């Protein structure tokens, strides 16, 4: 009798043990992914680089009938040559002006508040901790340079053979879900390409407009400040604010009226960007509401630090596309617009 009971209970125990193993495996995998979150964010950065190189390589291939690999190589060499040329012409002047910025900013901060008061403001708040982490991470030049090299190198390899990595990623989903997974990847890549291309153009235009405007206002180190504003433009919403702070601080070392004019300059430039540059470059193709982008960027920055802040907006774009395609359209069966279906009226 007892043997019969044990025999009937055995399948249930095995099923229970199997569920426990599955749960433990999922938890362990989640913890492992959390531990390597920085690496995963760098991988995402490499994907952005690959999308940019791939788009440029495709354009070169269409114009010259080159193979994809050769076109990407030409695109990479062209970018490096352009950066070297800019560094050759403006590198010394920009370097001197950046040094001047770093020397003037502490002076301006000292006029606003003492170091202890600033620490009191920053401590005890999530955003304050994030800002402190960003500032401390920004001083780790070697780590930042190493991460940049890794992202660029991985991005080149991804751009040269994207189909291979795509097949590997799609192979992880069940066969029945393969078409949906491929469509979701295509929609995400399209949204990211449009955002990335528009963001690069916006960075260039904002950097130039800032440098010219500061030069007209007589603010010192205008080239260095324009470079900072252009680079910070890569982080939507939060980046433009962070890019304006050094310029306002440097202007405040002259007089407060100049600082007010500089603040007005940045407000005007942001209005031009939001209402002219980005709508013309990307239209409404990304589709993600601005508020979602703001909170997504801040949330990922709080969770993952500076890298989360840097890649928060494009990650939010991918999440938005996945939710639209898999949850809203796939699970709920409701109609929603995807990037490939977007129009200027969407």
**pLDDT tens string for the chain (346 positions)?**
555 555 555 566 666 676 777 778 778 877 877 778 888 888 898 998 898 888 888 888 888 888 888 888 888 888 888 777 777 766 666 667 667 666 666 666 555 544 444 455 445 555 555 555 555 544 455 566 677 788 888 888 888 888 888 888 888 888 888 888 899 899 898 888 888 888 888 888 888 999 999 998 888 878 888 888 888 888 766 778 878 888 888 887 777 888 888 889 988 888 887 777 666 655 555 677 777 777 888 888 888 877 888 888 888 888 888 888 888 888 888 888 888 777 655 5
d(CA 175, CA 283): 35
* Cβ-contact 215, 225 below 8 angstroms: no
d(CA 189, CA 339): 10
Structure tokens at 316: 């939010």
Residue 274 has what DSSP assignment? I
C-alpha pair distances (Å), 326 with each of 49, 191, 312, 317, 338: 26, 16, 21, 14, 11
Q: Reduced to 3 states, what is the DSSP secondary structure of residue 343?
A: coil
d(CA 74, CA 60): 8
* Cβ-contact 325, 184 below 8 angstroms: yes
Phi-psi region of 287 (alpha: psi -120 to 50; beta: other; left: phi over 0): left
Q: How far is residue 276 CA from its own chain's centroid? A: 21
Residue closest to 299 by CA, chosen among 315, 320, 318 = 315
Cα-based angle 283, 196, 270 (whole degrees, multiple of 5): 65
Q: Where are the alpha helices (DSSP H) in the chain?
A: 2-35, 37-64, 68-112, 115-122, 126-138, 141-160, 162-170, 178-217, 222-232, 238-252, 256-272, 278-282, 290-304, 306-322
Structure tokens at 199: 């963001």
Residue closest to 221 by CA, chosen among 253, 196, 199 = 253
b/e code 69-101 from CB counts within 10 Å (16+ = b): eebbbbbbeeeeeeeeeeeeeeeeebeebbeeb
d(CA 346, CA 340): 11
pTM: predicted TM-score of the whole model, two decimal places: 0.75
Residue closest to 178 by CA, chosen among 192, 167, 162, 189 = 167
pLDDT of residue 209: 92
* Cβ-contact 240, 270 below 8 angstroms: yes
Q: Reduced to 3 states, what is the DSSP secondary structure of residue 286?
A: coil
Structure tokens at 227: 């470079």
Cα-based angle 158, 159, 165 (whole degrees, multiple of 5): 40
pLDDT of residue 328: 86
């Amino acid at each position: 009798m007892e043997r019969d009971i044990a025999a009937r209970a055995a399948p249930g125990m095995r099923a229970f043990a199997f569920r426990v193993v599955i749960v433990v495996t999922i938890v362990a995998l989640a913890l492992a992914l959390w531990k390597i979150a920085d690496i995963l964010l760098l991988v995402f950065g490499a994907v952005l680089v690959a999308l940019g190189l791939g788009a440029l390589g495709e354009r070169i291939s269409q114009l010259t009938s080159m193979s994809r690999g050769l076109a990407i190589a030409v695109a990479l060499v062209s970018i490096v040559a352009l950066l070297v040329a800019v560094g050759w012409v403006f590198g010394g002047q920009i370097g001197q002006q950046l040094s001047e910025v770093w020397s003037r900013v502490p002076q301006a901060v000292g006029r606003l508040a003492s170091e202890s008061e600033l620490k009191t403001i920053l401590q005890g708040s999530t955003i304050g901790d994030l800002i402190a982490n960003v500032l401390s991470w920004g001083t780790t030049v070697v780590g930042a340079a190493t991460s940049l090299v890794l992202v660029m190198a991985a991005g080149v390899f991804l751009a040269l053979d994207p189909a291979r990595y795509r097949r590997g990623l799609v192979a992880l989903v069940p066969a029945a879900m393969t078409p949906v997974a491929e469509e979701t990847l295509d929609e995400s890549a399209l949204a990211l390409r449009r955002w990335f291309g528009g963001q690069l153009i916006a960075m260039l235009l904002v950097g130039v407009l800032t440098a010219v405007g500061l030069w007209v206002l007589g603010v010192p180190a205008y080239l260095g400040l324009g470079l900072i504003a252009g680079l910070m433009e890569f982080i939507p919403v939060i980046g433009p604010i962070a890019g304006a702070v050094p310029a306002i601080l440097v202007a405040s070392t002259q007089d407060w009226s100049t600082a007010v004019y500089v603040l007005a300059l940045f407000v005007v430039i942001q209005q031009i960007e939001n209402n002219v540059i980005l709508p013309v470059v990307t239209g409404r193709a990304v589709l993600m509401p601005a508020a979602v982008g703001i909170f997504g960027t801040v949330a990922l920055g709080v969770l993952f630090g500076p890298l989360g802040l840097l890649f928060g907006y494009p990650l939010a774009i991918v999440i938005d596309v996945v939710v639209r395609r898999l949850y809203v359209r796939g699970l709920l069966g409701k109609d929603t617009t995807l990037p490939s279906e977007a129009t200027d009226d969407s």
